[in-house]
């Protein structure tokens, strides 16, 4: 075994240098979320953050690509896990969207149990009131969508429901649409999860994700009537 405290799930014994790197990385994330959460994202300078962690700004940028990046780490870890799961999943021939849904649920399950939910919550609360963080997160998700589409193409063949119609570009298009549906459902689920007053557990997030995905067919089929007070022109 190791020295009790300093053990991350996936490194029984990792080269000391690597462990140090991971430790400063984690310290940066935690301190960033704390400082940003208290004073606001753009009222805390990188110099202040770096000073708190006793790290040079140069080192910061070797670990994270931007100021937004450090605060978005929890969500990005989740999506990285999602991609991993998608590679390794022994998947059934079920609807594509459900496949993605299960992969994401599995990825949520892989996050470090208690700490992750708290960090994710702090991160998303911050993103909700910081436009640049929001933009950064969306761009990241978009990249994930592209990569997941590539994985899908490599690991699966598409059987569309009505057979024979699945031509070349159509299949690729459907994959991207299906992925974006999952992303959309997840974002709505996440927003609702963040907004709730208490009980921010992974299980609860999973539950909300499932609920949002279940509404996808309803959303596609829903019809709208104009409100009555409107006069016909």
Partner DNA sequence: TAGATTCTGCCACTGAGTGGCACAAGCCTA
Partner DNA sequence: TAGGCTTGTGCCACTCAGTGGCAGAATCTA
Contact 24, 63 (CB under 8 A): yes
Give the contact letters, 171-190, x = binds to its own copies (CB under 8 A), - = no: --xxxxxx-xx-xxx-xx--
CB of 3 to DNA, least distance (A): 14
Q: Which of 42, 159, 196, 203 binds its own copies (CB under 8 A)?
A: 159
Q: Six-digit token pair at 167?
A: 């031509």
Residue showing tokens 């089929």:
221
CB of 177 to DNA, least distance (A): 31
29 binds, among DNA, its own copies, none (CB under 5 to 8 A by kind): none
47 binds, among DNA, its own copies, none (CB under 5 to 8 A by kind): DNA
Give the contact letters, 76-115, x = binds to its own copies (CB under 8 A), - = no: --------------xx-xxxxx-x----------------
Give the contact letters, 7-46, x = binds to its own copies (CB under 8 A), - = no: ----------------------------------------
Give the dihedral sign, CA 195/206/77/182: negative
Q: What are phi and psi of 134, to 5 degrees?
A: -60, -50
Phi-psi label, residue 4: left if phi above 0, alpha if psi -120 to 50, beta otherwise: left
Residue showing tokens 């509404």:
215
How far apart are alpha carbons 132 and 122 in whole angstroms? 16
Classified as helix, coil or strand, 25 is helix
Contact 32, 69 (CB under 8 A): no
* Apex 181 CA angle, 180 and 184, nearest 5: 85
Give the contact letters, 121-140, x = binds to its own copies (CB under 8 A), - = no: ----------x--xxx-xx-
Q: Which of 29, 68, 78, 213 binds DNA (CB under 7 A)?
A: 68
Contact 35, 48 (CB under 8 A): yes
**Interacting residues toward its own copies by CB under 8 A:** 90-91, 93-97, 99, 131, 134-136, 138-139, 142, 152, 154-162, 165-166, 169-170, 173-178, 180-181, 183-185, 187-188, 192, 212, 215-227, 230, 232-233
Residues that bind DNA (CB under 7 A): 15-18, 20-21, 24, 42, 44-47, 54-59, 61-63, 65-68
């Amino acid at each position: 075994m190791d020295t009790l405290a300093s053990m991350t799930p996936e490194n029984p014994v990792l080269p000391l240098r690597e462990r140090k790197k991971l430790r400063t990385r984690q310290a940066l994330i935690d301190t960033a979320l704390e400082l940003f959460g208290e004073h606001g994202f753009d009222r805390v300078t990188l110099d202040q953050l770096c000073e708190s962690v006793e790290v040079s700004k140069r080192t910061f940028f070797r670990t994270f690509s931007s100021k937004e990046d450090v605060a978005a780490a929890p969500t990005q870890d989740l999506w990285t896990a999602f991609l991993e799961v998608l590679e390794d999943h022994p998947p059934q021939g079920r609807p594509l969207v459900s496949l993605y849904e299960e992969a994401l649920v599995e990825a949520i399950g892989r996050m470090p149990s208690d700490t992750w939910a708290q960090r994710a919550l702090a991160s998303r609360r911050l993103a909700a009131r910081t436009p640049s963080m929001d933009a950064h997160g969306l761009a990241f998700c978009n990249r994930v969508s592209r990569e997941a589409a590539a994985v899908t193409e490599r690991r699966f063949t598409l059987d569309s429901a009505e057979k024979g119609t699945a031509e070349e570009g159509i299949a690729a298009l459907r994959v991207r649409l299906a992925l974006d549906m999952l992303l959309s459902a997840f974002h709505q689920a996440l927003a609702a999860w963040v907004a709730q007053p208490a009980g921010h557990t992974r299980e609860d997030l999973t539950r909300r994700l499932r609920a949002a995905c279940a509404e996808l067919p309803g959303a596609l089929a829903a019809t709208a009537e104009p409100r009555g007070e409107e006069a016909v022109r």
